[in-house]
Structure 1
Amino acid sequence: MNDQQKEIQNTIQILKKGGLILFPTDTIWGIGCDATNAAAVDKIYALKQRDESKALICLVNDFKMLNRHVENIPEVAYDILRYASKPTTIIYDQPINIAENLLAPDQTLAIRVAQRSFCKDLVQKFKKPIVATSANISGKATPKSYAEISTEILKGVDYIVPLQSQKMSTKPSAIIKLSNDGVVQVIRK
């Protein structure tokens, strides 16, 4: 078993216990938890000091997992994801099989199909979506590297994936809202 596989196993044990992780997502360093565990989602809101009306993003590993957590995926979503030149998060109507407190007030959910190796492998082996929100207190700057993550965040998680030297993007994903009525809205480029 290589180091990455070992880290994935360690991280999954924390997620299964409802713990919070600090991990390299496919964009930036993120705080994560089991997206189906409402108590774990509450811990993220508390740690980030974030209003629960501001929804969080969750990660899936492929289209198959995406289909298990969105009732009706607009056909255009597949094209957007296939041809996107950067990681792209899509906000969907009618999410299912997910913690209720993860949903936005309008009952939508932001989901990204993970691209990076560690992140994608973690979600695949966990077999459930994982919350992935920036590793900062709400309203503060998003850290551009592990070294910029605040002590408060570092002490507030249950496990830190020790891949601090991993090259990360310094930009969050693009966000597009796809409504079932056909409306497409770019939230963040």
Structure 2
Amino acid sequence: MNYFQQEVEAAVDALLMQLVILYPSDTVWGIGCDAEVPRAVEKVHKLKQRPGEKGCIILVADEAMFARYAEQVPDNLGQLLAEQQRPTTYVVKGSRLVAPNLLAADGTIGLRVVRGDEFTHKVVRRLGHGLVSTSANISGQPTPAIYKEIDPAIVRGVDHVVNWRQDDEKRSEPSRIVRVLANGSLELLRD
């Protein structure tokens, strides 16, 4: 087994044990856990010092996993995914399978199909559940673009730190966020 695969397996093992991980996502470094485990989600909220009603993004592997966590899947989801030029998070009503403390106050969640990042995609695929993805910072502080900018309190506070792309100096940005409206059109929330 090569080093890449060892890091994927270690991350998945931690997630299956309902632990919180620090990992390189398809955008920025993130704090994550299984999206169906309320206890782990609570630990993420405490670590970020963030109110639970704010909601979090859930990374999914494909359209089928998207449908698992969305109360209603947009009819044009395949087209939306095919047209996206960069990582895009879709805000939709969350299903009953989502840990209740992941939902925003209005019952929505953000779902993002991971496409451009092999590591994150493999972790989500192997886990078989959605992966919470929230930036690796204390709430209100700047989002770290690279690993070495992550607050040491975050590094110490998680249960497992992925040792992949830590030396990467490529500066990343958070995803674009859009709300899916009832008619299937999109409302831009963050570009």
- TM-score (normalised: structure 2): 0.94
Distance 1:167 1:73 in 2: 36
Contact 1:20 1:32 in 2 (8 A): yes
1:9-34 Cα deviation digits (max 9, x unpaired): 11111111221100000001000101
> Are 2:77 and 1:50 aligned?
no
Residue 187 (structure 2) aligns with: 185
1:54-73 Cα deviation digits (max 9, x unpaired): 11101001112112222321
Stretches of structure 1 that go unaligned for 5 or more consecutive residues are: none
SS at the partner of 1:15?
Answer: helix
How far 1:188 moved relative to its partner? 0.6
Alignment RMSD: 1.4
Stretches of structure 2 that go unaligned for 5 or more consecutive residues are: none
Contact 1:22 1:135 in 2 (8 A): yes
Residue 107 (structure 2) aligns with: 107
Distance 1:183 1:53 in 2: 25
Residue 131 (structure 1) aligns with: 132
Distance 1:168 1:78, change over 3 A: farther
Question: Which residue identity is paired with 1:86?
Answer: R
Question: Which residue identity is paired with 1:159?
Answer: H
Residue 84 (structure 1) aligns with: 84
Count of residue pairs the alignment pairs up: 189
How far 1:182 moved relative to its partner? 4.1
Residue 59 (structure 1) aligns with: 59
How far 1:94 moved relative to its partner? 4.0
Identity across matched positions, percent: 38
Residue 32 (structure 2) aligns with: 32
How far 1:95 moved relative to its partner? 2.4
> Are 2:160 and 1:159 aligned?
yes
How far 1:4 moved relative to its partner? 1.4
How far 1:77 moved relative to its partner? 3.0
